[in-house]
Amino acid sequence: MSTPMELMREASKGTMGEQLGIEFVELTKERVVARMPVEKRVHQPFGLLHGGASVALAETVASIGAWLNVGESGKTAVGLEINANHVRGKRDGIVTATATPLHLGRATHVWEIKLTDEAGKLVCISRCTMAIVDS
């Protein structure tokens, strides 16, 4: 039987997550952590990390966290709403996204996602609401 990490690595092949270089670090029902390199492919025209890339990383970790909590019940999770505050620019290196659940309901989940740089400084804070639906 495959682990969640193995399943996510396989399922991510050919997806936007793979194109952005997202690498999973920790996958549990209580916490999902992933890293993404900050380089030209995730920059906006002025050489900074694109807000859309930050949001894609945030929704990725929230989605996986929600799925880990409902997947065995025959349900899955899809994004319903996401917001993000970009608090610090980043030109290169790595950002790490850490998602933790704020609410795990029957029909919706709400996840908080913090993106930090290598020094642990906050780059982006996001909140993502997931709809829980039949698989």
Report the C-alpha gap between 122 and 59 in whole angstroms: 17
* Whether the Cβ atoms of residue 118 and residue 63 lie closer than 8 Å to each other: no
Interval 27-56 mean pLDDT: 98
Do 40 and 89 meet the contact criterion of CB atoms below 8 Å apart? no
Residues 6 or more apart whose Cβ sits within 8 Å of residue 48: 89, 90, 91
Let me know: does 66 contact 130? Beta carbons within 8 Å. Answer: yes
Q: Residues, the chain, total?
A: 135
Confidence band for 1, pLDDT divided at 50, 70 and 90 = low
Per-chain mean pLDDT for the chain: 96
**Beta pairing partners, 77:** 132
Give the confidence band of 2 by pLDDT, cuts at 50, 70, 90: confident
What the chain holds in terms of domains, given with CATH numbers, is: 4-134 (3.10.129.10)
Orientation of helix 4-11 relative to helix 51-70, angle to 10° = 130
Which residues are identified as catalytic? 59
Summarised one tens digit per residue, pLDDT across range 91-122 is 999 999 999 999 999 999 999 999 999 999 99
Tell me the pTM.
Answer: 0.96
Where in 17-121 does DSSP place strands (E)?
23-27, 32-38, 75-86, 93-104, 108-116
**C-alpha to C-alpha distance for 3 and 19, rounded to whole angstroms:** 23
